[in-house]
Chains A and B, each alone.
Chain A
């Protein structure tokens, strides 16, 4: 049985009051409650404040390049799909530079757990607009305000028929924990967008701002109704829904690849003699 102490990594270098602390602590709690030991899963990240996440927990980690966490996670999962693989990323990392990978990982439906720390700003590079920054938001690099329309990762995911689409809030730890657990228990690619206040660079979408708007989706909501999910996914402004917005039962990629569907690649013995036999068939 793991304890919280088992998950203690380096001391976080996030700003005091950062929403990331809530995500980190809740994640550790969830892992302990799920009885998952740190050596039993891998966390992959790219570049950004959220991408520092694996430094602050003790587990198998791969910290790669900006925007590129999902392809690496896909590779890890294909080599050993018996271990959970999670990606911790941010709105800039995943929806911006990694946008293309985001779309195609949803299409593939690899069983990777994606957690996006969505603070609607670039924190690591000190406050430029991200894809989820609201139109008109002024930053040092966007002096006339953001011209581009705000991206809706939820609507995009529903449109892509992503197999699990949820949104939660860094300060609502019980809800966040429930979403982490639900994602881990789902077979297929999961997106959990975590609204996370950036206390230093985002002066618009603050704790208070989110707190006044977020609400839990009603218990009788049917997350398998895609049209209804699309409506909820587009909800942003006065009210922002938290919960599992959408899910389906599409088969995961690992279950569809014949050579790994029964046994992970890692556990399969390479037999050169058998390879020779196979090659001979072509001569």
Chain B
């Protein structure tokens, strides 16, 4: 067993990078992800890894350098946040479209304007359609474990898709928590040797990445990408099973908490799930049958599996730490999509919370649960979408 340490989410992810020792990493500073790559550079400095660290002039260049290195045949990683991810936008599609298994911790942070450096999921949600796998983490332990698993998932020979490992900016990235590390040798064995697929550096077999495909085959190319994504859930589960054998820590496409016999439930991702679980315990003591579902894999979204887990409920509240202005919250849209496949249709409401790092406090969870209790009794939904924790 590895060391048990007190570290931040950023530190834990940097440790995972150190243990995996990627061939190439690119970095451009952006709060709150700066510290992750900076810690990794100290490992480069100390000779703990032999990674080639490329320091560039923008995040667009960081992702471009990663794409070049991955196409050349390297194991590649970087990290970013917020505007950094937004600036990478066109390159994210290139990475996914050319099927390069780049790993990127995304330290979730609000998007401008107005300028804000604190945590919410606007950045990750903005990249949900890029073709990347997205894993969301509740705490530093999950950020560390997800980073290690992400390499195995993304590099799986059946898919070869890039992956983002998301954690809440500051709340997780900069808070010190108890984390169980895995021994270096075990991590190395778990992720395995990197296998390059169609590397540009294989001079005997010339390749071409990203040429023009027009109306003749583009549509088919994109369908192939869709089909690849359908293979991801099983691979995520396979990797999680191996991970559990090694560490005893259980992972799946999503986590459920006191959900099996629940009548009402909250669906929420990342750090807010922890607070919600505490409040659920209090309500359970009062005899209220409430549970939680925490999606871990947001892309691809496990519609059918989630529908199965939620179909016995009377009322569900989906908490989004991002908004789609003029629409429902992005997680709400997915959950209602999942509900469509159910025979019975629970009532579903959408709460937007915690934007720009606004604290998610126990009384917000209580407010949501009280509303769900009423909806379960009356069957009536007053307001579908609403902001909570707002200063009036």
Q: A residues engaging B (CB < 8 A)? A: 47, 63-67, 96-97, 99, 122, 124-126, 128-129, 131, 140-144
For B115, list chain A residues within 8 Å (CB): 47, 63
8 pairs of A and B residues whose beta carbons are closest in the complex: A143-B45, A125-B29, A97-B58, A96-B57, A125-B34, A141-B41, A128-B29, A140-B38
**Complex: A125 Cα to B29 Cα, angstroms:** 6
Q: Give how many A-B residue pairs fall within 8 Å (CB-CB).
A: 46
Residues of A within 8 A of B30 (CB): 125
* A residues near B29, Cβ cutoff 8 Å: 122, 125-126, 128, 141
A66 to B34, CA, bound (A): 15
Contacts A47-B115, A140-B38, A144-B45; A131 near B27 (Cβ below 8 A): no
Task: List chain A residues, Cβ under 8 A from B44.
Answer: 143
Residues on B with beta carbons closer than 8 Å to the beta carbon of A129: 55
Cβ–Cβ contact A97 & B57, under 8 A? yes
Chain A to chain B contacts (Cβ below 8 Å), 8 pairs: A67-B58, A125-B31, A125-B34, A126-B34, A141-B29, A142-B41, A143-B44, A144-B45
A128 and B45 in contact, given A141-B27, A141-B37 (Cβ under 8 angstroms): no
The CA-CA distance from A265 to B106 in the complex, in Å, is 43
Residues 22-40 of B at the A interface (beta carbon under 8 Å): 27, 29-31, 34, 37-38
List residues of chain B with CB within 8 A of the CB of A63: 115
Report if B230 contacts A (CB, 8 A). Answer: no
Chain B min CB distance to A127 (Å): 9
B45, A65: Cβ atoms closer than 8 Å: no
Residue B130 interfacial (CB < 8 Å): no
Interface flag for B83 (CB, 8 Å): yes
B42 CB-CB contact with A under 8 Å: yes
In contact, B41 and A140 (Cβ under 8 angstroms): yes
Pick from A47, A66, A141: contact of B55, CB under 8 Å: A141
Chain B residues near A143: list those with CB within 8 A.
41-42, 44-45
Chain B residue, CB-CB nearest to A122: B29
C-alpha spacing A128/B54, complex, angstroms: 13
Nearest A residue to B61, CB-CB: A97
Contacts A140-B38, A140-B41; A65 near B112 (Cβ below 8 A): yes
Q: Are A99 and B57 neighbours in the complex by a CB distance under 8 Å?
A: yes
Docked pose: A142 CA to B55 CA in angstroms:
8
> Which residues of chain A come closer than 8 Å to B83, judged between CB atoms?
47, 65-66
B31 CB contacts on chain A under 8 angstroms: 124-125
Q: Give bound CA distance, A97 to B59, whole Å.
A: 9
